[in-house]
Amino acid sequence: MVEEMIIDGSVLDGVGRVLFVHAHPDDETIATGALIAALAERGVAVAVLTATRGERGEVVPGSLPAGLDQQRLSAARENELAAALTELGAITHAFLGTPPARADAQPRRYHDSGMSWLREGLAGPAPDGGPLALTAADTAEVVADIGAMITTFAPDLLISYDAGGGYGHPDHVLLHHATIAAGRRAGVPVAEIVPAEAPDAESFAAPAQREALVRALSRHASQLTVDGTDIVHVGGQREPIRTTTLLRVIDRKRS
């Protein structure tokens, strides 16, 4: 049961509204899907803010029609994301730069910055991110847009990446810093998603959410394949399906 996952004094104790800040469609499910489903089942109001449409993601062969341009790939990934969130039970979703996650009157579409592999398991910036990329944006603008979502949704807690972005993707790293800045400005506590070896991490296991998580992962068919207990990414990398999320508090709520 979800109640068994929430422990006294933890970052999730007594939380009624949680905003997850992620970079691309499928990140929310891979990194935090079980936690999202568990919180939603418990009656916590969950929102997911996605920064980009994952325009530069590779595509699993045969999952989408061949020759899709960036616009149609974006639309396909939006649909996959919506279907995955339905499986997880998240009640609210927004794209960064689009109301309610927009501080300016003119909407903005942040694009996937892309990445390049520096070594196995560690990504770095792509050589051709382009002027529309999330990482090319003024960080203050990104912070303000996250802040607009905070104002509208009024979360008790923000959850996003750690300083390394999980595996180094530049969009993840940028959102780590921007989410902290937006949380501090709004006085909302922030927790980061950390690896198993991280000190001071709180572990939230939600094995009862495995079936919902697998269904949600399967909705992201253009990006990954579920193979038994593993996720197989479009590039062939394998990782175990995670029903445990480790969080570390960056900022606790101010009085």
Ordered per-residue pLDDT tens for the chain, 255 residues:
334 454 445 889 889 999 999 999 999 999 999 999 999 999 999 999 999 999 988 899 999 888 788 889 999 999 999 999 999 998 899 999 999 999 999 999 999 998 888 888 888 889 888 999 999 999 999 999 999 999 999 999 999 999 998 888 999 999 999 999 999 999 999 999 998 878 889 999 999 999 999 999 999 999 999 999 999 999 888 999 999 999 999 866 543
The pLDDT score that the predictor gives to residue 180 is 97
Task: Report d(CA 174, CA 32) in Å as an integer.
Answer: 18
Domain, as residue range, for 118: 2-251
The pLDDT score that the predictor gives to residue 108 is 97
Q: How many CB atoms lie within 10 A of CB 105?
A: 6
Would you give the DSSP letter of residue 126?
-
Rounded to two decimals, what is the model's pTM?
0.94
CA distances from 120 to 54, 116, 124, 199, 237 (A): 21, 11, 11, 23, 9
The pLDDT score that the predictor gives to residue 252 is 65
Q: What is the largest CA-CA distance in the chain?
A: 54
Task: Report d(CA 54, CA 72) in Å as an integer.
Answer: 11
Residue 145: which CATH number?
Answer: 3.40.50.10320
Secondary structure of residue 129 in the 3-state scheme: coil
Specify the number of domains making up the chain: 1
